[in-house]
Structure 1
Amino acid sequence: MQNVERNMLNPTGDLNLVKPKFDLIGLYNRLQAQVENIFLRKGYIFLFLGFLLGRALILGKLAPFALPFFAAVYFLKKDRAPIAFLGLVAGAATLALTDAAVTFGVIFLFLILFRSMGKWVKNEMRALPFYVFTTIITGELFKLAVFSSGFSVYGTAMAGVEAGLGLILTLIFLQSIPLLTTGKRKQSLKTEEIVCLIIMLASVMTGTIGWSVYDLSVEHIMSRYLVLLFSFVAGATVGSTVGVVTGLILSLANVSSFYHMSLLAFSGLLGGLLKEGKKPGVAVGLIIATLLIGMYGEAGEALNKTLMESGAAVLLFLLTPAALTSRIAKHIPGTPEYSAEQQQYMRKMRDVTARRVSQFSNVFQALSQSFSSINDQQDDSEESDRGLDYFLSNVTEKTCQTCFKKDHCWVRNFNTTYDYMGTIMHEMDHNNGNVSAKLTRDWEKHCTRSKKVFEVMHQQLTLFQANRKLKKQVQESRKIVAEQLLGVSEVMGDFAKEIQRERENHHKQEEQILEALQDFGVQIEHVEIYSLAQGSVDIDMTIPYCRGHGECEKLIAPMLSDILGETILVSSEQCSAYPNGCCQVTFKSAKAFVVYTGVAHAAKDGDLVSGDSYSTIELGGGKYAIAISDGMGNGERAHTESQETLMLLQQILQSGIEEKVAIKSVNSILSLRTTDEIFSTLDLAVIDLQNAYSRFLKIGSTPSFIKRGSKIIKIQASNLPMGILQDVEVDVVSEQLKAGDLLIMMSDGVFEGPKHVENYDLWMKRKIQELKTEDPQGIADVIMEEVIRSRSNLIEDDMTVVVAKIDHNIPKWASIPVPKQQKQA
């Protein structure tokens, strides 16, 4: 410990910080940034590529690479064209000075043609390959005419071949140069872009023909390294493609290297197949391919040399940092890195969307609190005193301002006068404008203009009451708006949480389900699991054409029920239209309860249009709603009113807003929409299909009844019809339903329909008690028939009765047991 302390002290005795360890990762990142700055940002990569392409030849004679490369750089990055020009001329000079002069002349001729034709050509990118073709063939024909013995068939054909290659290479370089020079590329590489990139890299490698290190060919080492890199990153398909393209380009440049195309293609295929073994596996693929192709092609010292070249390529490959391979893999579709990159992008977009939705939710919540705070801040006593002051000031302005006793009343006896007038105002307000005799006598003794004051008070009291009613309506409207905004805020908040809930990866479970079903003999093409949560399972499957035998419902769903430990049913099924196709099936969790409904309705006097409307609504979250609305009166107008009430309610409920807020929203819309006296009742029952817990909301509607065996339960609430008041108090009645219960809901035409009946409750309970059937439709028909019969077969009002039976959801098919080792954990 003392040695450590001494090492931390400098010779002067001061305490120094301990020097950090050597940061290899930081050094690599700084080196990478420096290399990118020099080659990519400053453009020296064009000098390097131009140098190699300037000395690249095909068949030892043709040099089609220089001008296409310069033309592409000049068109895409004009500021980097001088650097590319220097590299091309310098590379050609390594072959011969005449080649450098030819390269210089061809580029100069291209610039003249490009500048002169730019005025007449609109799409320069399409015309660029033809500029290159024209320039190359013009230069080659000029060489044949001046420096050769004249035109010949062979010379002219070679000039055409070189010009054609130049045209094709221009198109390739236009696609591949942006891939090398763009520092941060977010898009994925297409197959054509990958091939163009490989052709360009192979073309660059032809410039290394003749180079060797310790008698090892640089072109062979780099080509095999390129195949290793792409086999490791993208797999066997891309690896073999890279091998074929690279080998073909190199064999065109040097015919003696033709057998290397087989070596590169085979090593790319083997390396891609062995990529699961990481870098060593890909390297083993190259070594095996080298041995096999080498034994067929050459032997002895040549085989040893080929093995050493492959070993050098493997060494470079093993020294390649993972950051480089990962960076390349992010742009190639099908790789895990690409999928992760796309997933990260989708996650970012999801988070941004969820954040925006959450912000909107907070805005609506703040607005709701703002409206609520306005109501909370208003003190009734202060508001009453302020209203009294305004009232009395208006009265005194028209009476006391011209009175000779003004000073006597309001200066010397202010409190007495104020109390008298306040008391008179309150008595008028509460007694329909009347004032007690005693107060009248006392006021006449106090005031010389008592009758005038009474008259003005009567006039002002009407305005005061109207103003007070208006303020109350405004407060009620603010309260309704606050509740509605809060409901919207809650829905949007839930939606934001749902967006942020990332879909889990269920690859293992998908494989287990696929294996279990296939082992049982059921053929499955594909399984896609979206959710395995208890009670909300969601699975999509692709199965072959089943010829209508129903194996999804009879076999697959029962097996999934045993695997997942809960009842699974077929939610939707899209069968193939032809025998060799596939069917798309969705399996979801079955609800614990199911509701069967029956409806009977009749219009007044047997008309076609009834003022009653009913609806059975399948809500999200496993809820089922039954609603009856009775419009005021009969006929088309009442039908439209009740139908619109149910339509508004259905849309608001399906958006996820809580039932009470939904009903208040519908009521406010109906009350504010028109000044006509159009009202409608609403009878709503919301049943949770997971536990049969029910909530009943009744607005001006008749009672409902629950028949449980021999017991009859009455559900009742007292409210005015919708549309009468802007603020309606919704009474919520909750009831726990059980399997076998019968819920009977009806409009007033049914409940109050029986003639010569004093107690409608007892009559309806007795009729329900006497029912001999449990079929919902049969019960609805029986009740309707009994009511009509009691009125001598006359229908004197619109009548609707809806009967719902709650029962356990029993699947049609029992679960099929699966071996335990294949079930989900």
Structure 2
Amino acid sequence: MKQRSATQNRLAALVAPYLDIRLLGRWAAVFAAGILMSRAGMFDRIAPFGVAFAAGVPASLLFPALLGAAVGYCLPLLPVAGATKYLLALCVVAVIRLLLNNRVKLAKKSGFLAAVALLATGVPSLLSAYTLMADAAGVTVSAAEAVLSAAVAFFCSVALQSLDQGFLASVVDRKQHACLVVVASIMLLALCGVNVMGFSVGRFAAVLVILVIASAYGPAAACAAGVVVGVTSGLASFNLIVLAAVYGFAALLAGVFGVFGRTGSAAAFILANGMAVLMAGTDVVPLSVLYEVMAATLVYMLLPQKLINRAALFKLESLKPQAEADAEVYTRLTLAGNAMREVRTAVETVSQGLGRIQSGDISSVYDEVSHSVCGHCDKRFSCWGKHYNRTMGAFNTLSEAYRQQSTIAEDDFPPEFLESCKKTRRIITAVNDGFSRFRARESSVRRFGEVRSIVSEQFETMSELLDELSREVINRHEVNAALSAAVREYLEGTGITPTGVLCENDKDGRLLLTIRIATDEIESISRVKLAKALGVVCKKSLALPVITEKDNLTTIRLREKPRLTVLYGEYQSAFKDGRVCGDNIRYVANSGGQVQVVLSDGMGSGPAAAVDSAMTSSLLTKMISAGLRPEGAMKFANSALLVKSAEESLSTADITLIDLYTGKTQIYKAGAAPTFVKSAGKTFMLEGDSLPIGILNGVSIDQNQLKLESGDMVLMVSDGALADGPEWIIQELERYDSDDMGNLAKYIVETAKKRRSDGHDDDISAAAVLVTANV
């Protein structure tokens, strides 16, 4: 009995550590994560993430990680072919780590674990490529897979270091946070392959996350989240890489329209995705993506507000003058922008390699014919052995014949080949079928190359937006705590208790005042009286406030009053006095003291031209208002026109930006007519030689910069006003001395119609701006 009791005690001592509830919980979580990581595939071709996860986990969690990854690779419907090599790689990981874990000091270092993943993934992948006699592109993909596995193993190691002390450390540093995002994205990649009734679980969850982030953090964070989950969804299926741009743009709009509450965010996100489906076509963005967006949006609308509020970790009152925090945000945004550029480069490199693999060359048609038709022929050894050169010479003559007449007939073969071949008709049928499939593949690859180029340009545009946001953060001045307290005291004295007050200066020292008040605490606000009263408190002349309401919270923003203002007018005349003008004009005066005037001239006239010009001007004004530089906004609009439809769509872009604080004016043109300026008693025109947008993948831009003061004028026109040359417009502008800009624009348009003498007609538009002192 004593011996049995001693044995039981020893067994209990061995088993006890594994009966710890927390340890079992960690093992279960790692086991599930291993399954998910192994189910994540990229471009329907590689899936090294399960191996990388097993290589990167802490030693105490190696067993459940290996077991989970092995189960995931053995489950049916693996997103890629060839699970055997990944199981072999897991065996290599297990052997190396078990042998060296307690014998090598570096065995727990992230760099060492990355090297283990590189070796474990690289050897089976390269052996597989050698066995299958892969070409240079195939070997390159195998090598890239090994490097990717090493990188992910490093991320897993850094992210999961805290698991040795607890399931999730209470304090996670910045590096671990970034690596956790990468690991979570790969798990999302696996979920993208899980379909329920035609819906992707991963993309459904991704859209839900984007909308919550847009509601909690605004457009910048939403844009970043949209790009990350879009790239992840695209990696799951190479044909959906365009989702990186679609989700990024839709998330940005959801954040921008978040001022209208959850309904505004949801509507903007659905409309942006719907527009993407219409522009790109269902062959590029499947209709199911839109259904997933609508379903996720419905769930988002049903979420309790308290749940969404928990995601908003940073409140207005927590903003403090910390230069260190600004520098940290600047660094993160800069790194994110650089990462977007690296993703663009990586996507182009990998897709070009895969494109070569998928498209092949025309000799593949002859290989198929030789196997399908000649493979069972008793003369195959003679034709493809002794007379190989004669046979290949006959086939090589077919390529040019097919390109000229789109079909192959007996007359296209040399006579000596027809005499020796017994299966000429079957060969002709097989060659015609093979050529048809080859041309279809070529067309698909070419179309996909165009989409890839557009997506790459969107990555660059997103990186520019992140760069601009980082510059704004680092140039922000410290918060004026004393002035914030004075404004709060004044408001409380009037019976209003604000939930947050923030007074800060921008990079030029101009005052920005933000106040948040519970909507049910105020009945109505006189914008004029509020600006005057707070101006007295701040000892500044303030412009009228911008007031927005969201989730029972009213936000009031006031800025220091600009020293300049503008008087504006526009006028248009449609082609042959029609009802629809092919030109479009947008005027936007934002709260930051900037005036935008955008004039776009669509190709031709009528409804089609009106759609192109309206789309161009709308995108430009929205993107510039969101913080994107005009150059980046033009690239974005250029991509939109390229994918809008199969038919050619192009339009000019003419942008005038006026800073009402300084008078600094920037003029950007892409194929646009000259802009006329009257400044300091002189009248002149600014022109360029760039092409309209929507023609080429890239876009060239003409830029001019000047400084305007009170009394200066700017006149923008479409090319329909220049049929009789520009000189008369300069003369009219010199003589004009009224401040009625609407009358000036109308006069220019009507006079241009009268002066036209070439017997043709065109859309004519004019937009006039007069800069005046803001008294």
Q: Please report the TM-score for the alignment, with normalisation by the length of structure 2.
A: 0.42
TM-score normalised per structure 1: 0.39
Q: Which is greater in Rg?
A: 1
